[in-house]
């Protein structure tokens, strides 16, 4: 089955669908350094580096181009909403990211689309935005007489055997009616468990990164032997793993880290820390899951991202492991660009589950 990935980032959503056998025909990403990581990892995919508003209705996408459209319009696009779609929301330029996702779906008319976003989208402005998004796709008039049937869930990464407390909203639209969505969801879990018995089992920080050696200056390390089923699942076919470097911390920052034990944060310090994050300078615990990996996982003041035993923040490879990226995936670009790629990505273990779920949905057509 063919798919299009909108707002593809470095490719977290695409990875899961590729693993399930889908062919990604086109991917769209406006940020050049991030698109470069996607291209270099997936040279077979046509990557369009452009703002989606420049290409959504210009002939780049045509009816029947793909069976599936996947993607997550960045949440900034849902900052404002009118009382009704026709009274401002979909035509508000501040919401163009969602509008142009909608335009591509309307143009291509896939059998299924998947939209991933922050769970808070459900409750923004007392739920008005969420209702309008659902209405846009399920209204017969706006969809020219052929509306989508919508299903949605707030999911927890922990429930997919991913060692972080990430929660996201998944919206699935399909032209296929009369689907028992909850039953298909459970059937998908059972099928995957038959192939990967530990797929949904709880995973700790140690389970994810405990076998990684010391960081190196160039980030290159020999692929270590797997000690857990999670590590085995992510192990690739390369003898060298990349991106295992550390941030350069000042002597003052390292001194602060030395004072903080597992599960503790800046409150252990006898000084005022200039950070708005409640978990600033927090140290991870080996036997727990990590908090949500954000784009600031390399910054001590950005949250609880200090290594369980070393006085440094997580390396990009460690953060990628906690996001469930395979070891043979390479992140390209400057330090900040790589942090953004990893922190903004959809965990591939979640996207693989969604790909398998959509297979079951399409079987009903």
The residues annotated with a catalytic role in the active site are 75
* Rg over CA atoms, the chain: 21
C-alpha 197/C-alpha 190 separation (Å) is 9
Distances (CA, A) of 174 to 117, 152, 171, 234: 18, 12, 10, 31
Q: SS3 sequence, 154-178?
A: EEEHHHHCCCECCEEEEEEEECCCC
> Residues 6 or more apart from 272 whose CB is under 8 A from it?
none
Task: Work out the angle at residue 89's Cα, subtended by the Cα atoms of residues 74 and 55, and round it to the nearest 5 degrees.
Answer: 55
Nearest to 112 by CA among 52, 40, 181: 181
Residue 345: both structure tokens together: 């990505």
C-alpha 303/C-alpha 298 separation (Å) is 9
* Residue 122: DSSP 8-state: G
At residue 3, the 3 state secondary structure works out as strand
C-alpha 265/C-alpha 281 separation (Å) is 5
Residue 128 CA to its chain's centroid (Å): 25
Cα-based torsion angle of the residue sequence 299, 303, 306, 308 in order, rounded to the nearest 10 degrees: -160
C-alpha 14/C-alpha 355 separation (Å) is 9
């Amino acid at each position: 089955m063919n798919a299009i990935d909108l707002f593809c980032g470095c490719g977290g959503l695409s990875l899961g669908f590729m693993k399930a056998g889908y062919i990604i025909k086109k991917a769209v990403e406006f940020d050049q350094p991030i698109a470069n990581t996607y291209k270099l990892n997936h040279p077979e995919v046509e990557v369009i580096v452009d703002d989606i508003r420049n290409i959504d209705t210009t002939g780049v996408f045509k009816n029947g181009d793909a069976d599936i459209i996947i993607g997550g319009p960045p949440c900034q696009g849902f900052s404002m909403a009118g009382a009704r779609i026709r009274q401002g929301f979909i035509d508000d330029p501040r919401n163009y990211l969602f509008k142009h996702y909608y335009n591509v779906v309307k143009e291509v008319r896939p059998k299924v689309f998947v939209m991933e976003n922050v769970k808070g989208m459900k409750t923004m402005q007392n739920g008005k935005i969420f209702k309008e998004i659902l209405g846009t796709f399920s209204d017969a008039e706006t969809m020219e007489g052929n509306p989508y049937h919508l299903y949605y869930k707030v999911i927890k990464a922990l429930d997919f055997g991913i060692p972080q407390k990430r929660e996201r909203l998944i919206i699935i639209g399909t032209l296929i009616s009369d689907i028992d969505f909850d039953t298909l969801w459970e059937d998908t879990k059972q099928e995957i468990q038959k192939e990967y018995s530990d797929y949904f089992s709880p995973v700790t920080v140690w389970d994810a990164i405990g076998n990684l050696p010391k960081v190196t200056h160039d980030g290159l390390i020999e692929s270590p032997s797997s000690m857990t089923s999670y590590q085995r699942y992510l192990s690739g076919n390369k003898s060298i793993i990349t991106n295992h470097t550390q941030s350069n911390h000042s002597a003052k920052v390292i001194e602060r880290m030395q004072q903080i034990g597992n599960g503790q944060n800046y409150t252990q310090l006898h000084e005022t820390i200039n950070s708005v994050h409640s978990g600033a300078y927090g140290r991870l615990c080996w036997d727990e899951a990590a908090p949500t990996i954000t784009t600031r996982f390399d910054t001590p003041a950005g949250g609880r991202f200090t290594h369980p035993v070393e006085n440094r923040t997580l390396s990009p490879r460690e953060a990628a492991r906690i996001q469930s990226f395979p070891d043979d995936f390479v992140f390209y670009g400057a330090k900040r660009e790589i942090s953004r790629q990893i922190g903004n990505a959809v965990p591939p273990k979640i996207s693989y589950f969604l790909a398998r779920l959509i297979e079951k949905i399409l079987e009903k057509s």
